Amino acid sequence: MSLINRQIVLASRPSAEPSADNFKLVEAPVAPLQDGEVLVRNHFLSLDPYMRGRMNDGKSYAQPQPLDEVMIGGTVGEVVESRNDFFKPGEKVVGMGGWQEYQRVGAHQRGALQKVDTTHVPLSAYLGAVGMPGVTAWYGLVKIINPKAGETVVVSAASGAVGGAVGQLAKARGCRVVGIAGGPDKCAQVVSELGFDACIDYKQHADVKSLSKALKEACPNGIDGYFENVGGMILDAVMLRCNAFSRIAFCGMISGYNGAPIPLTNPSLILVNRMKLEGFIVSEHMEVWPEALKELGGMVATGKLKYRETVAQGIAAAPEAFLGLLKGKNFGKQLVKLV
Amino acid sequence: MSLINRQIVLASRPSAEPSADNFKLVEAPVAPLQDGEVLVRNHFLSLDPYMRGRMNDGKSYAQPQPLDEVMIGGTVGEVVESRNDFFKPGEKVVGMGGWQEYQRVGAHQRGALQKVDTTHVPLSAYLGAVGMPGVTAWYGLVKIINPKAGETVVVSAASGAVGGAVGQLAKARGCRVVGIAGGPDKCAQVVSELGFDACIDYKQHADVKSLSKALKEACPNGIDGYFENVGGMILDAVMLRCNAFSRIAFCGMISGYNGAPIPLTNPSLILVNRMKLEGFIVSEHMEVWPEALKELGGMVATGKLKYRETVAQGIAAAPEAFLGLLKGKNFGKQLVKLV
- Residues of B in Cβ contact (< 8 Å) with A252: 271
B206 within some domain: yes
What is the number of structural domains in chain B? 2
- B260 to chain A, closest Cα gap in Å: 9
pLDDT: is B108 or B234 the higher one? B234
Find the CATH number of the domain harbouring A238.
3.40.50.720
Q: Are residues B10 and B122 in the same domain?
A: yes
Residues above pLDDT 70, as percent of chain B: 97
Q: How far apart are CA A145 and CA A143, in angstroms?
A: 6
Residue A62 at interface with chain B, using a CB cutoff of 8 Å: no
Residue B140 at interface with chain A, using a CB cutoff of 8 Å: no
Cross-chain residue pair A279–B279, CB shorter than 8 Å: no
pTM of the full structure: 0.90
**Which of B252, B263, B278 has its CB closest to that of A263?**
B263
Q: Are residues B183 and B267 in the same domain?
A: yes
Cross-chain residue pair A264–B262, CB shorter than 8 Å: no
Residue A239 at interface with chain B, using a CB cutoff of 8 Å: no
Give rounded-to-5 percent helix, strand, coil for chain B: 35, 25, 40
Q: Are residues B96 and B217 in the same domain?
A: no
A294 within some domain: no
Q: Are residues B164 and B228 in the same domain?
A: yes
Residue A283 at interface with chain B, using a CB cutoff of 8 Å: no
B297 within some domain: no
pLDDT: is B211 or B58 the higher one? B211
Give the pLDDT of residue B107.
75
Q: How far apart are CA A249 and CA B273, in angstroms?
A: 13
Give the pLDDT of residue A16.
86
Could you report the per-residue pLDDT of A18-34, keeping only the tens digit for each? 999 999 999 999 989 99
Contact A88, A39 (CB under 8 A): no
Q: Are residues A58 and A186 in the same domain?
A: no
Q: Are residues A190 and A262 in the same domain?
A: yes
A147 within some domain: yes
pLDDT: is A259 or B72 the higher one? B72
Give B339: exposed, middle or buried? Use CB within 10 Å, 0-12, 13-18, 19+.
exposed
Of A214-223, B85-94, B246-255, minimum mean pLDDT range: B246-255
- Residues of B in Cβ contact (< 8 Å) with A279: 270-276
Residues above pLDDT 90, as percent of chain A: 86
Give the pLDDT of residue A61.
65
A296 within some domain: no
Q: Which residues of B160-169 are buried (b: 16+ CB within 10 A; e: fewer)?
A: bbbbbbbbbb
Could you report the per-residue pLDDT of B117-156, keeping only the tens digit for each? 999 999 999 999 999 999 999 999 999 999 999 999 999 9
Give the pLDDT of residue A261.
74
Q: Are residues B149 and B172 in the same domain?
A: yes
Say if residue B289's pLDDT is above 80. yes
Give the pLDDT of residue B58.
74
Find the CATH number of the domain harbouring A75.
3.90.180.10
- Residues of A in Cβ contact (< 8 Å) with B272: 59-61, 279
Give the SS3 label for residue A79: strand
ipTM of the complex: 0.88
Optimal mutation site among B268, B275, B276, B280, interface A, most CBs of chain A within 10 A: B268
Q: Are residues B120 and B137 in the same domain?
A: no
Q: Are residues A89 and A22 in the same domain?
A: yes
Give the pLDDT of residue B253.
78
Cross-chain residue pair B271–A284, CB shorter than 8 Å: no
Q: Are residues A34 and A145 in the same domain?
A: no
- Count residue pairs from A and B with Cβ separation < 8 A: 100
Residue B262 at interface with chain A, using a CB cutoff of 8 Å: yes
DSSP string for A167-178: HHHHHHTT-EEE
Residue B256 at interface with chain A, using a CB cutoff of 8 Å: yes
Cross-chain residue pair B231–A268, CB shorter than 8 Å: yes
B34 within some domain: yes
A293 within some domain: no
- A230 to chain B, closest Cα gap in Å: 10
Which residue range forms the structural domain that includes residue B39? 4-128+308-337
Q: Are residues B235 and B326 in the same domain?
A: no
Could you report the per-residue pLDDT of A162-211, keeping only the tens digit for each? 999 999 999 999 999 999 999 999 999 999 999 999 999 999 999 999 99
Residue B251 at interface with chain A, using a CB cutoff of 8 Å: yes
Residue A278 at interface with chain B, using a CB cutoff of 8 Å: yes
In 3D, which of B248, B240, B249, B233 has the Cα closest to residue B219? B240
Q: Are residues A166 and A265 in the same domain?
A: yes
Low-confidence ranges of chain A (pLDDT < 70): 1, 59-61, 255-260
Cross-chain residue pair A275–B272, CB shorter than 8 Å: no
B292 within some domain: no
Give the pLDDT of residue A256.
65
